[in-house]
């Protein structure tokens, strides 16, 4: 394993003479560090080095809302992503509340800077990051606004730079053999090149993990945050993973972690060597798969993100909003979502709403249709009908979503006899429901076009990630499902 930060060493990116077709894959996992906070520091120099909390669903002076991301300085005070703003303020008061003339005011040195979410700006910065990634890798999987996998096998290799007698690249040391302390692979040089370009061209830091497979690269990117670079060459993945707690294994959420602990499995090494039949009994087919990953065995390819599975929009509103205001809001959101679906040429089979009750209780309702449709009036009709459940409820945010999208050029189903009130039982999910398969829970941010169904665990919910102690950035910008 090799760690480092930008500027260390002189290795330049490049590719070695691979010599055969059985080349070990080179996968980079790029994870932006506290991305929203980094974006705010990009345009506000005075935030550098300060505890920064980027929050949503609140106005200055209002303590109702949630933390989207907390800088590492803010985390030292116990502030975490997905935490209610009220709790964050208890741990880290606002800087503007510090009054040196008031003996009861907080100490300025124990206060933080609270900034409202500016999603449009973050998406602009993310666009600059993605431009770098697209230039650096032909094969990419963009998991979220701040996270992506790159397959750079065709751009570099695991050969050691400068290892030959004539300064030529050589193969990496065999498994278990320690090479010279200064030996670095070409893969590390290329990853450093990607990392430096992101900081230089987009202005924000990233942590990068490099490994021969996706799950190990993901773990490596978390291993030296912030602004880290960790490289795990072929043959050393199992050794790198073995001492880590099971929670660090890609795909292990808090529920699975507890189940494994009950089986006496505490580390990745324990998981790799566990009886896989026993794991299958306890966890189903995921058990043996997690064991293989813990052993460094992950043959998934980096596949590009495909077409979205849903389109959605949401809007914050005062908790004092009356029924008329809520209906007007949902009507506007429904029209916008239906327009975007038509512009993309897609049909939809499910229409849903999200209603967020204070402080941050997320409720979703959805109704399935007999077949795929393109019908803006129906989107509004169903959304308003689902909203009626919340006529007497205080809400602070509302959203509308269409899902189960169909981009095929086929005739839409005829909805003869469909009535808005006959679509079956609505579904409900709370924002704190644990999903151990790594899927996303209710989101804390404005919805954006949702990614396709993931491989089961590419980026667990932010609550899961924070609970298991990883240093992830912020609430993900996915959809709810």
Catalytic machinery residues: 147
Between CA 235 and CA 116 the distance in angstroms is: 45
Between CA 324 and CA 310 the distance in angstroms is: 27
Between CA 353 and CA 340 the distance in angstroms is: 16
Write phi, then psi, for 304 (nearest 5 degrees).
-60, 145
The DSSP line for 458-481 is SS--HHHHHHTT----B-------
Q: What is the dihedral of CA 211, 217, 223, 224, to 10 degrees?
A: 80
What Rg, from alpha-carbon coordinates, does the chain have?
24
Between CA 383 and CA 399 the distance in angstroms is: 9
Between CA 137 and CA 476 the distance in angstroms is: 23
User: Can you count the helices (H) and strands (E) in the chain?
Assistant: 14, 15
Between CA 434 and CA 63 the distance in angstroms is: 25
Local structure of 185: helix, strand or coil: strand
The DSSP line for 44-82 is -GGGTTS-EEEEES--TT---SEEEEE-HHHHTTT--TT
The DSSP line for 239-252 is HHHTTSBGGGSTT-
In DSSP terms, 397 is beta-bridged to 316, 356
Q: How far apart are the first and last CA of the chain?
A: 38
List the Cα angle 28/306/231 in 5-degree steps.
5
């Amino acid at each position: 394993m090799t760690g480092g930060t930008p500027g260390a060493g002189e290795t330049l990116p490049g590719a070695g003479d691979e010599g055969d077709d059985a080349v070990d894959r080179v996968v980079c996992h790029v994870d932006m560090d506290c991305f929203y906070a980094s974006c705010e520091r990009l345009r506000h120099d005075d935030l550098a080095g300060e505890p920064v909390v980027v929050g949503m669903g609140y106005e200055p002076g209002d303590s109702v809302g949630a933390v989207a991301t907390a800088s590492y300085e803010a985390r030292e005070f116990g502030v975490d992503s997905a935490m209610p703003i009220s709790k964050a303020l208890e741990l880290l008061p606002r800087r503007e509340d510090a009054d040196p003339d008031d003996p009861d005011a907080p100490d300025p040195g124990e206060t933080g800077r609270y900034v409202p979410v500016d999603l449009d700006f973050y998406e602009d910065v993310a666009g600059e990051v993605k431009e770098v990634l697209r230039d650096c890798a032909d094969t990419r999987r963009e998991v979220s606004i701040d996270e992506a996998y790159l397959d750079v096998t065709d751009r570099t290799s695991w050969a050691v730079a400068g290892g030959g007698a004539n300064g030529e690249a050589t193969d990496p040391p065999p498994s278990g053999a320690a090479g010279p302390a200064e030996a670095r692979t070409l893969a590390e040089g290329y990853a450093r090149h990607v990392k430096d370009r992101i900081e230089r061209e987009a202005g924000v830091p990233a942590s990068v993990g490099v490994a021969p497979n996706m799950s190990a690269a993901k773990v490596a990117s978390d291993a030296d945050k912030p602004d880290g670079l960790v490289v795990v060459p072929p043959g050393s993945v199992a050794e790198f993973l073995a001492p880590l707690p099971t929670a660090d294994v890609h795909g292990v959420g808090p529920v699975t972690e507890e189940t494994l602990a009950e089986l006496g499995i505490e580390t990745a090494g324990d998981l790799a060597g566990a009886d896989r039949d026993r794991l299958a009994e306890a966890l189903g087919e995921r058990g043996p798969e997690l064991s293989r990953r813990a052993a460094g065995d992950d043959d998934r390819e980096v596949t590009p993100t495909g077409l979205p599975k849903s389109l959605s929009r949401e809007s914050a509103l005062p908790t004092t909003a009356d029924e008329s205001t809520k209906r007007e809001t949902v009507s506007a959101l429904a029209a916008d979502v239906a327009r975007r679906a038509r512009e993309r040429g897609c049909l939809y089979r499910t229409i849903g709403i999200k209603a967020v009750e204070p402080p941050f209780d997320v409720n979703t309702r959805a109704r399935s249709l007999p077949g795929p449709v393109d019908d803006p009036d129906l989107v509004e009709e169903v959304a308003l009908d689902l909203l009626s459940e919340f006529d007497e409820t205080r809400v602070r945010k509302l959203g509308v979503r269409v899902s189960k999208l169909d981009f095929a050029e086929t005739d839409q189903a005829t909805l003869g006899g469909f009535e808005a009130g006959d679509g079956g039982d609505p579904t409900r999910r709370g924002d704190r429901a644990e999903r151990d398969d790594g899927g996303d829970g209710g989101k804390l941010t404005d919805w954006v076009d949702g990614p396709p169904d993931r491989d089961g665990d590419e980026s667990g919910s932010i609550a899961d990630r924070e609970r298991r102690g990883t240093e992830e950035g912020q609430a993900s910008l996915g959809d709810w499902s």
